[in-house]
Amino acid sequence: MFPHIKFLSQFWRQDKGKIGLAFLYVMLSQGFSLAEPFFFTRILDDFLRRVGDTARFPTESIFFREITIIVLIWIGVAFAARIFKNLQLYLVDTVSDRVGIRIFERAFSYVINLPMRFHEQQKPGEVFRRISKARDDITRLFTVFFDKIFQNSFSIVVVIAYIFYRAWQLGLMLIAFVPLFFLFTYIFTKRVKKAQNTINEINEQLYGTSLEAINNIEVVKSFATENHEGSNAAHDNRLSHESLKIKTKALQQLTFAQGTIVNLARVALLWYGSLLAFRGVVSFADVVLFTFYSFAIYQPLYEIGTIYSTYHEGINAMDRLDILLKEPNTITSPKDAIVPQKLSGHIEFKNVKFEYESAGRTALNNISFDIAPGKKFAIVGLSGGGKTTIIKLLLRFYDLQEGQILIDGKDIRQYDLAGLRRQIGLVLQDNVLFNATLADNIRYGKLDATDDEVKRAVEGAYLTDLLQKLPKGLDTIVGERGLRLSGGEKQRVAIARAIIKKPAILIFDEATSALDSHSEEMIKKAIRHVSESRTTITIAHRFAAVVDADEIILLKEGGILERGTHTDLLKAGGEYARLYNLQTQRRETEEEKIDAEQRDETLALSAV
């Protein structure tokens, strides 16, 4: 319990003054509420039982005056109880909501800053479900603590103390049934706890799988696997439903057992209280008052099943969130980090070795190269050679195991992480755009960019023709993942997004692959334009995309097989030359085939 309080305190300590006030409001509200039955029994005992007693009330005016005073005091007490109750509810709701906001902000911010290793191993839906459920369950637990747990505990302590003070025999009678009540509660809530854990795990899996299917809807539809994804979701839903049935059955059994015990206790209290009243130990009014107060004891206990369920869900959510927040963030800025203002773009890889933990194989082995500022550098090779790994290391998505990566003579681990990445522009093969305006997607590269900067980025990426076609120009919504744009158009938007932050280093990772000839030429034109006076790294499968590079390295199985200019590598007649000639022959064959198909189509039309 105490570790959970310590964990939760980081989210509510900013409101500790309001929380202290909430405790006061609960005690005042319950104190005035518990006083109300006293006035009812006073009217029964002191007035209604003495109607016609002329010695006590010689005239109607005296009776009316005294009973009116009691009623007015009662009304005042009830009014005070309602006021403090409303203040309590408002304060608790607002503070619990603020706690929920802090939980979500802290967790989301922490997760979004975790290294790529974490995100590549987790389903986004599962992570988001865990965060959102933690916010909801902990917020609900916080509210229930004040509105149920503390409030009821306060009432039970006050009532039992008062009854023991007035008649210890009835006090013993009241608490005699409590152990039996807790025994049944313990038995059934164990089943509830187990079922709830299963429900949480299945629902996280369901959210992860479902969100993944929605995010990859094009793949799902292209492979016609809608029924398969639907069946997976339905299977998880059914498993969750079965666990929910077990939980619901246990709660119903608990409710039945609790209700039976509570009814027995109330009947026993009234029976024994009547006997004590006959003996003169207590008054008629005391029996009525204690019967009322029994509700203040057993009604909270009657709700203990629901309270425990909420409590356990909140504790379980805290445990799962705590595990998430303890996920190590190994990629961080050093304490004395260098915040780069403007780098020249001099890049050095020195004996770099790296392997992915999950793969268990070496991705890069003793890689060394030097890129002078403003030069065009290219990395080519077959899939799995380590091309993209070099870029991930340069951006510090991962930290290498051996060797050193330097930019402008300083190890990249010395730089402020955000500052380093702001100096690097990245354009991928498949660039994801947000479901926002074209301007917002471009401005994502520099959130505070002016309209003039956006305009210059548009011109630099040769997007002017696209703006003329769009109905609202830069204010056009591009759709989820940029679905309203073609592949070439998305690439040019990505280039504009990369260059708007004026990076010292530009990286193009397969930026021209999988495009038609016209789009490819447009992208190449944009790349040539934005690469001037910047250090540029181009990764490509197609060697024709890198022929104008100042230096090319050919990677194979994590090592540098060949290096040099395009001309030098062709003259060497090695692996680069062989692969280049194969690609050239294949491309010429494809072009000849297309030309032949076009000639046949022209002849067929002429014959008609």
Q: Which of 47-51, 260-264, 330-334, 561-565 has the highest mean pLDDT?
A: 561-565
Q: Is 205 left (phi over 0), alpha (psi -120 to 50) or beta?
A: alpha
Say which residues have a Cβ less than 8 Å from residue 569's Cβ, sequence separation at least 6. Answer: 552, 554, 562, 563, 576, 577, 580
27 vs 249: CA distance, rounded Å: 35
Q: Among 139-148, 177-186, 324-333, 468-477, which stretch is predicted with the lowest mean pLDDT?
A: 177-186
Cβ 537 vs Cβ 391: under 8 Å: yes
Residue 577: per-residue pLDDT? 92
pLDDT at 605 over 50: no
Cβ 49 vs Cβ 173: under 8 Å: no
β-bridge mates for residue 407, sequence order: 347, 410
Residue 401: per-residue pLDDT? 87
**What is the per-residue pLDDT across 337-369, written as a single tens digit (0 to 9) for each?**
999 888 999 999 999 999 887 666 778 989 999
Residue 595: per-residue pLDDT? 52
The CATH fold of domain 2-325: ABC transporter transmembrane region fold (1.20.1560)
**What is the per-residue pLDDT across 20-35, written as a single tens digit (0 to 9) for each?**
999 999 999 988 988 8
Closest CA to 20 of 98, 95, 97: 95
Can you say how many angstroms the Cα of residue 498 is from the centroid of all Cα atoms in its chain?
27
Helix axes of 284-302 and 178-215: crossing angle, nearest 10 degrees: 30
pTM: 0.69
For the chain, give the percent of residues with pLDDT over 90. Answer: 18
Residue 553: per-residue pLDDT? 93
**What is the per-residue pLDDT across 25-74, written as a single tens digit (0 to 9) for each?**
999 998 898 888 888 888 877 777 777 777 777 888 888 888 899 899 99
Closest CA to 322 of 130, 114, 123: 130
pLDDT at 101 over 80: yes
The number of CA neighbours under 13 Å toward the Cβ of 139 is 18
Residue type for position 69:
I
Q: Which of 117-121, 251-255, 487-491, 548-552 has the highest mean pLDDT?
A: 548-552
Residue 415 DSSP one-character state: B
Computed over every residue of the chain, the mean pLDDT equals: 81
Taking the C-alpha atoms of 103, 107, 108 and 109 in order, what is their torsion angle to the nearest 10 degrees? Answer: 110
Using pLDDT thresholds of 50, 70 and 90, give the confidence band for residue 176.
confident
Using pLDDT thresholds of 50, 70 and 90, give the confidence band for residue 128.
confident
Token pair 């057992």 is at which residue?
Answer: 257
Q: Is 371 left (phi over 0), alpha (psi -120 to 50) or beta?
A: beta
pLDDT at 516 over 60: no
Say which residues have a Cβ less than 8 Å from residue 141's Cβ, sequence separation at least 6. Answer: 310, 311, 313, 314, 315, 317
3-state helix, strand, coil in the chain (%, to 5): 70, 10, 20
| Residue 195 Cα distances to 201, 234, 247, 447, angstroms | 10, 19, 5, 46
The H-assigned helical ranges of 406-486 are 417-422, 438-443, 451-460, 464-469
Q: Is 56 left (phi over 0), alpha (psi -120 to 50) or beta?
A: alpha
261 vs 184: CA distance, rounded Å: 10
Using pLDDT thresholds of 50, 70 and 90, give the confidence band for residue 280.
confident
**What is the per-residue pLDDT across 394-448, written as a single tens digit (0 to 9) for each?**
999 888 889 999 999 999 999 999 899 889 888 887 777 888 888 888 888 888 8
| Over residues 552-565, mean pLDDT | 91
Cβ 405 vs Cβ 348: under 8 Å: yes
Q: Among 78-87, 315-324, 401-410, 463-472, which stretch is predicted with the lowest mean pLDDT?
A: 463-472
Residue 513: per-residue pLDDT? 59
**What is the per-residue pLDDT across 208-267, written as a single tens digit (0 to 9) for each?**
677 667 766 656 665 567 777 778 777 777 777 777 777 777 777 777 877 787 778 778
Q: Among 1-5, 87-91, 217-221, 604-608, which stretch is predicted with the lowest mean pLDDT?
A: 604-608
CB count in 10 Å sphere of residue 352 = 24
Using pLDDT thresholds of 50, 70 and 90, give the confidence band for residue 468.
confident
228 vs 257: CA distance, rounded Å: 44
pLDDT at 608 over 50: no
| Over residues 162-176, mean pLDDT | 80
Residue 66: per-residue pLDDT? 86
pLDDT at 384 over 90: no
| Over residues 315-332, mean pLDDT | 86
